[in-house]
Amino acid sequence: MSHFSQIKTQIRNLDSLKDALTELGVDWKPGPREVRGYRGQTHPAEVSIEQENGYDIGFRWNGKEYELVADLQYWQQDLSVDGFLRQVTQRYAYQTVVKETARVGFQVSEQQKNEDGSIRLVVQRWSA
pLDDT in tens, 78-87: 999 999 999 9
* Burial environment of residue 81 by CB neighbours within 10 A (0 to 12, 13 to 18, 19 or more): middle
Question: What 3-state DSSP class applies to 86?
Answer: helix
pLDDT in tens, 55-96: 999 999 999 999 999 999 999 999 999 999 999 999 999 999
Q: Decide if 88 contacts 17 (C-beta within 8 A).
A: yes
Q: How confident is the model at residue 118 (pLDDT cuts 50, 70, 90)?
A: confident
What does the alpha-carbon distance between residue 128 and residue 88 come to, in Å, rounded to a whole number?
37
Please compute the mean of the pLDDT values over residues 103-119 and round it to a whole number: 87
DSSP state of 38: G
Q: What residue spans define the domains of the chain? A: 5-124
| pLDDT computed for residue 95 by the predictor | 92
Q: Which residues contact 124 (CB under 8 A, 6 or more apart)?
A: 106, 107, 109
| pLDDT over threshold 60, residue 1 | no
Q: What is the pTM of this model?
A: 0.85
pLDDT in tens, 4-55: 899 999 999 999 999 999 999 999 999 899 999 988 889 999 999 999 999 9
**56: Cα within 13 Å, side-chain hemisphere:** 22
